[in-house]
């Protein structure tokens, strides 16, 4: 069998049909931010503000904010849905109602909530519904979850201003969900600061190129367009051949199969994530690996339901 990426779940689950979830988290959360060195969980310094944003895949979204001056800490998680303490697999399955979200803790003496809103608006395409770029699903919807009336007013006012700017540039209406902040459920350890841990990892975010007329916007972010941790997908066979080894090219681009018992990971039992050699996406967790006797690494399940698609090989 060979594996392909793919999913298309754009219909929100009804509350009474959502996953039941659990009373407590199913996993531990790191104590400190891998880049900033600050705590990921409360208590946070007195007087600091919090904001929760959903703007597509949370790997790239989190990096936008941790690079913004005045941000104390960031964390990725799940928000806006119905299932308590969900797992990544459940959220990707489309039956929790949650977005992939970023918790941002900021120092209001250094950056305002409106400035963060400008970073949010410019960091993605808020006119897209239930998707961002190639990432399709309800968990990738654009969303703002406000903590109080002041944040709600700022969100609505900046939305109106940005929608006017987008309209002048030929874009449609903003589809962003604006709602009160409910519980924020932290994501698994390997998702936190993912693009710091996996420099060549996938980042599917892309803005509209239209500046937000209120706040710092893209100026608050350190060179997002030239970040050398981005790994664009090649467009030609020559570019693929430059990136991949001959064997990788045969397997990934020509549907080939490596000889059994030849791979370096056949007999390893280490924990960790197995990534796609082409795009950097995580495919399997080492804890799900077992010895099948086939000569190829075998796993009981993928890292999430949308990580791979099983296609019959004829």
Q: Report whether pLDDT(271) > 70.
A: no
pLDDT band of residue 252 (cuts 50, 70, 90) is confident
Q: Which two tokens stand for residue 179?
A: 């709602």
Q: Report whether pLDDT(223) > 70.
A: no
Residues 168 and 300 in one domain: no
Q: Report whether pLDDT(248) > 90.
A: no
**What's the Cα-to-Cα distance from 272 to each of 126, 176, 187, 258, 304, rounded to whole Å?**
34, 35, 16, 22, 14
Residues 255 and 175 in one domain: no
pTM above 0.75, yes or no: no
Where in the sequence is the domain holding 11, given as residue range(s)?
Answer: 2-226
Q: Give me the residue label for tokens 């540039």.
A: 169
pLDDT band of residue 114 (cuts 50, 70, 90) is very high
Q: What is the mean pLDDT of the chain?
A: 84
Please list the helix, strand and coil fractions of the chain in percent, rounded to the nearest 5, in that order. Answer: 25, 20, 55
Q: What is the CATH number of the domain that holds 254?
A: 2.170.150.20
Q: Catalytic amino acids?
A: 57
Lowest mean pLDDT among 173-182, 255-264, 267-276: 267-276
Q: What is the CATH number of the domain that holds 132?
A: 3.30.1060.10
Cα dihedral 90, 272, 259, 249 in deg (nearest 10): 80
Residues 57 and 85 in one domain: yes
In a domain? residue 232: no
Q: Report whether pLDDT(46) > 60.
A: yes
Residues 219 and 275 in one domain: no
DSSP string for residues in 116-137: HHHHHHHTS-TTSSSEETTEES
User: Total structural domains in the chain?
Assistant: 2
Q: How far apart are the first and last CA of the chain?
A: 9
* Domain C-terminal end among 174, 192, 226: 226
Q: Report whether pLDDT(221) > 60.
A: no
For 79-101, the pLDDT digits (tens) are 999 999 999 999 999 999 999 99
> 226 versus 207: which is more confidently predicted?
207
Tell me the average pLDDT across 263-273: 67
Cα–Cα dist 246/296, whole Å: 18
Residues 44 and 150 in one domain: yes
The predicted pLDDT at position 219 comes to 43
In a domain? residue 231: no
DSSP count for the chain of H helices, then E strands? 7, 14
Whether residue 123 contacts residue 104, with contact meaning beta carbons closer than 8 Å, is answered with: no
In a domain? residue 151: yes
């Amino acid at each position: 069998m060979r594996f392909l990426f793919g999913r298309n779940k754009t219909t929100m689950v009804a509350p009474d049909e959502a996953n039941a979830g659990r009373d407590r988290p199913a996993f531990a959360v790191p104590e400190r931010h891998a880049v900033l060195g600050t705590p990921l969980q409360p208590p946070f310094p007195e007087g600091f503000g919090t904001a929760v944003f959903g703007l597509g895949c949370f790997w790239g979204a989190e990096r936008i904010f941790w690079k913004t001056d005045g941000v104390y800490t960031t964390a990725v998680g799940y928000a806006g849905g119905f299932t308590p303490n969900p797992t990544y697999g459940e959220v990707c399955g489309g039956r929790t109602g949650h977005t992939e979200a970023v918790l941002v803790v900021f120092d209001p003496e250094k950056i305002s909530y409106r400035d963060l809103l400008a970073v949010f608006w410019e960091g993605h395409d808020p006119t897209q519904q239930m998707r961002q770029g190639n990432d399709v699903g309800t968990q990738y919807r654009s969303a703002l979850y406000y903590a109080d009336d002041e944040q709600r007013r700022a969100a609505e006012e900046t939305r109106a201003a940005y929608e006017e700017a987008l309209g002048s540039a030929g874009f449609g209406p903003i589809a962003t969900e604006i709602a009160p902040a409910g519980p924020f459920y932290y994501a698994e350890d390997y998702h936190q600061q993912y693009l710091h841990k996996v420099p060549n990892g996938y980042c599917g975010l892309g803005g509209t190129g239209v500046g937000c007329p209120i706040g710092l916007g893209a100026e608050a972010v350190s060179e997002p367009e030239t970040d050398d941790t981005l790994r664009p997908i090649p467009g030609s066979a020559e570019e693929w051949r430059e990136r991949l080894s001959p064997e990788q090219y045969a397997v990934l681009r020509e549907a080939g199969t490596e000889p059994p018992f030849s791979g370096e990971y056949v007999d390893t039992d280490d924990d960790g994530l197995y990534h796609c050699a082409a795009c950097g996406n995580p495919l399997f967790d080492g804890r799900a690996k077992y010895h099948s006797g086939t000569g190829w690494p075998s796993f009981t399940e993928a890292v999430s339901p949308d990580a791979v698609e099983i296609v019959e090989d004829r």
